[in-house]
Amino acid sequence: MAATSRVFGACRTLMAKAASSSATSTGAGSAKEGKGILKAVPVSQQLASFLGTNEASRTTAVKKIWEHIKLHNLQNPANKREINCDEKLKTIFEGKDKVGFLEIAKLLSRHFPKSG
C-alpha cells in the first residue's frame, strides 16, 4: 500500500509541475498577439476614417468591415459572396460598386504599410 501512495504522490508532483508550466506558457502566448496580422500598425487615412483609429491590425480591420456589412445588410441576397458597397465602403475599396468577399483582403492590403 505504501508503494502505491508513493507512485501516486509522484504523479501528483509531476502533474503540478505540468500545470504550472502550462500557466506560464499561456502568458507567453499573449506576447504573440502583437505579431504578424495581429500587430497594430498605422493605416491609410481612408481606412483610419472608416475604423475611427489611426492604428489597427489586419484582423481588426476585416472584423470592422464585416460588422459594417452585416449592420447595413450589404451582402447580395442572391449571391452571398458579393458585397454591394455603400459610400463608406467605396472609400476603402477603390470606388468599386461591388466586391467579392475574397477581394476584401487584397483591397485592404494597400491601406497597410509594407513590412520590411
Phi and psi at residue 67, to the nearest 5°: -60, -45
The whole-angstrom separation of Cα 66 and Cα 94 is 17
Hey, CA dihedral for 102, 58, 33, 71, is it positive or negative?
Answer: negative
Residue 98: count of CB within 10 angstroms of its CB: 13
Which grid cell is 54? 489611426
pLDDT digits (tens, 9 = 90+) for 29-56: 444 457 887 889 999 999 999 999 999 9
pLDDT digits (tens, 9 = 90+) for 82-93: 999 999 999 999
Q: Is the pTM of this model over 0.75?
A: no
Instruction: Compute and round to an integer the Cα radius of gyration of the chain.
Output: 24
Is residue 93 within 8 A of residue 46, CB to CB? The reply is no
